[in-house]
Each structure stands twice: as structure tokens, then as C-alpha cells.
Amino acid sequence: MYTIYHNPRCRKSREALTYLEESGINYDIVLYLKDPLSKAALKEILKKTGLTASQLVRKNEAEWKSQPNRDEMSEDEIIEVWIRHPKTLERPIVTTAQSGVLARPLENLITFLNAN
């Protein structure tokens, strides 16, 4: 089973969701802007994707740019920003029980699905 952390207003997120649907893959949708993720859930996403917190930040978002010392933040500090401003989390992210991927570009998702 796959989980997609989805923002319906994001074109890349919609593309990933469409790909999952058209591929006949079973998945759950997490609308993380509506129901913000916990610190534990965000840490689990980092663990599954193997990415650092700074690699999953949407650096052009105003909420991120307004953070003082944003270039020097620890992983926990970045996670706290995501909790307060969930739209600063890069998207879409697709996970399984063991692994995950930043599904942007779509080719990342295709490679991930082929490997699982």
C-alpha cells in the first residue's frame, strides 16, 4: 500500500496522484495542509525518503523566507516550521511501509514504483 502526501492545488501533486490512479495502484491520500502532520510523522517521512529536512523545504514559500536564520536551522527546527506552515513541505511525497520518494519530477515516482 502506498501513501501520497497530497496538495490538491499543486500541479505536480495532481500529476503524481493521476499517475497512481492510472497505474491501478492502491493508495491512501494524506491532505497534510488540511490535517497537519505530527513531528513523528514528519521524522518518519525523512527516514523513509532518506532526504534531509533542508532537501524537503519549499524554499520559495513566503513562510520559509520569513524564517530568521533559515539557512542554519537544525532538522528539528525545520520540522517545527513544517508543523506551523505545512505548505513549506515539498510535495508530493509517496511512501510505503519501508521507503518513500519525493515524487517530483514524476520520473522519481515511476522509478520508485518500479523498484517496489
| Catalytic residue ranges | 10
State the DSSP H helix or E strand holding residue 94, giving kind and residue range, or none if neither.
strand 93-95
Cα separation of 61 and 116, whole Å? 32
Strands 93-95 and 2-5: antiparallel
Residue 97 burial (CB < 10 Å; 0-12/13-18/19+)? exposed
